[in-house]
């Protein structure tokens, strides 16, 4: 498969998703030109909007980086949402309990959030490796538990004085707020954390023995074991690292976006990141533009609803169509490649 052919398939997938998206827009009688204009304007029209788009980009990048690790190990870590929540809970704990300078508190929040997410991920991993529970089911189960935990905290021990509402905890003290640039809601520090995490993941997977062994385990754990790799340990490590990075998304959501703990802290970004990573074919570099595009659509759907009266679900529909077309086309391409390869090999002697 050469680059030209691959580009052709990719272009085909984009065309399909465009056509289907336009069909949906036509179905809900949306003005096409305005919808397209608002896609760009809604996300990048003003500095503020750019800031907001980047604010959504951060958790998408972090959750995607997390999933690149677990996917490389051959794992479907649906539990990424719960790991984001666990990171947010741990960071909130630090923000509520630790007194000190901003530098100290934020550092501890980041460490705490990583550890929280890592432990939550490790739970899924232990269930899988020791208990034989598929990580999809373990992950979904623990997502519910995490949601329950956060609601319990928000209306129970961490509730606002005299209020028992699911609206959220008291805001953190100012020392637990991620610094922002005047007038923008995105924190440059959060953006830096996201990029450091993603680049670290790419480095880990492509340049280190650990990453190579992890990838081998993901592709064929039986053969990896024959090479002397303790595959269970590597699976657990993937859950720890992936969970930890997902936990960082929880940290930035709590510390840089909401400045408190709210029940919807994960914002569904974990699930969205699964789509991003599928689209990126598990490659870290591709995650960057695709996550940005998903953030763009998320921002645009606010504007679509506000200015054109379109339903807010439309953004999700377009994201879904895009992923389905790409996965479909890539699946077709792989099937074809496979057939061609067997034909070629069929015609040569053993």
Which residues are at the interface with another protein (CB under 8 A)? 207-210, 212-213, 215-216, 219-220, 222-230, 341-342, 345-346, 348-350
Full DSSP string of 55-77: HHHHHHHHHHHHHHHHHHTT---
Measured CA distances, 221 to 31, 68, 69, 129, 210 (Å):
51, 17, 15, 12, 14
Considering beta carbons, is residue 23 or 203 the nearer one to another protein?
Answer: 203
Least distance CB 131 / another protein (angstroms): 20
- Let me know if 171 is exposed, middle or buried by CB neighbors in 10 A (0-12, 13-18, 19+): middle
Considering beta carbons, is residue 46 or 220 the nearer one to another protein?
Answer: 220
Least distance CB 40 / another protein (angstroms): 38
Angle, CA 305 vertex, CA 302 and CA 307 arms, to 5°:
100
Least distance CB 213 / another protein (angstroms): 7
Considering beta carbons, is residue 27 or 222 the nearer one to another protein?
Answer: 222
Considering beta carbons, is residue 219 or 311 the nearer one to another protein?
Answer: 219
Query: Sign of the CA dihedral 269, 273, 276, 278?
Result: negative
Give the distance, in angstroms, between the CA of residue 267 and the centroid of all CA atoms in the same chain: 10
Task: Tell me if residue 264 falls in helix, strand or coil.
Answer: coil
Least distance CB 219 / another protein (angstroms): 5
For 7-40, give the secondary structure using H, E and C.
HHHHHHHHHHHHHHHHHHHHHCCCCHHHHHHHHH
Least distance CB 281 / another protein (angstroms): 12
Considering beta carbons, is residue 97 or 334 the nearer one to another protein?
Answer: 334
Least distance CB 343 / another protein (angstroms): 8
Considering beta carbons, is residue 1 or 192 the nearer one to another protein?
Answer: 1
């Amino acid at each position: 498969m050469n680059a030209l052919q691959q580009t052709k398939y990719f272009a085909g997938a984009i065309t399909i998703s465009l056509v289907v998206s336009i069909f949906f827009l036509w179905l809900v009688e949306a003005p096409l030109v305005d919808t397209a204009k608002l896609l760009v304007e809604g996300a990048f029209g003003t500095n503020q909007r750019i800031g907001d788009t980047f604010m959504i980009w951060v958790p998408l990048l972090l959750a995607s980086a997390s999933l690149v690790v677990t996917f490389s190990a051959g794992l479907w870590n649906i539990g990424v949402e719960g790991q984001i929540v666990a990171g947010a809970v741990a960071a909130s704990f630090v923000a509520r309990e630790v007194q000190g300078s901003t530098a100290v508190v934020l550092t501890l929040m980041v460490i705490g959030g990583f550890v929280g997410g890592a432990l939550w991920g490790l739970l899924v991993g232990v269930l899988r490796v020791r208990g034989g529970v598929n990580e999809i089911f373990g992950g979904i189960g623990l997502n519910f538990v995490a949601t329950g935990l956060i609601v319990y905290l928000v209306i129970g021990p961490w509730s606002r004085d005299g209020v028992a509402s699911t609206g959220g905890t008291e805001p953190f003290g100012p020392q637990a707020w991620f610094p922002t640039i005047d007038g923008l809601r995105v924190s440059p520090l959060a953006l830096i954390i996201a990029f450091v995490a993603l680049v670290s993941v790419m480095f880990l997977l492509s340049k280190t023995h650990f990453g190579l062994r992890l990838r081998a385990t993901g592709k064929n754990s039986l053969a990896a074991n024959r090479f002397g790799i303790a595959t269970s340990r590597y699976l657990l490590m993937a859950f720890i690292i992936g969970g930890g990075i997902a936990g960082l998304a929880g940290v930035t959501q709590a510390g840089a976006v909401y400045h408190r703990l709210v029940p919807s802290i994960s914002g569904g970004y974990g699930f969205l990141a699964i789509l991003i990573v599928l689209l990126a074919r598990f490659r870290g570099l591709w995650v960057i533009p695709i996550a940005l595009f998903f953030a763009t659509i998320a921002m645009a759907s606010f504007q679509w609803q506000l200015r054109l009266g379109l339903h807010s679900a439309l953004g999700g529909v377009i994201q879904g169509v895009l992923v389905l077309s790409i996965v479909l086309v890539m699946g077709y391409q792989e099937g074809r490649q496979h057939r061609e390869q067997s034909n070629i090999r069929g015609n040569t002697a053993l």
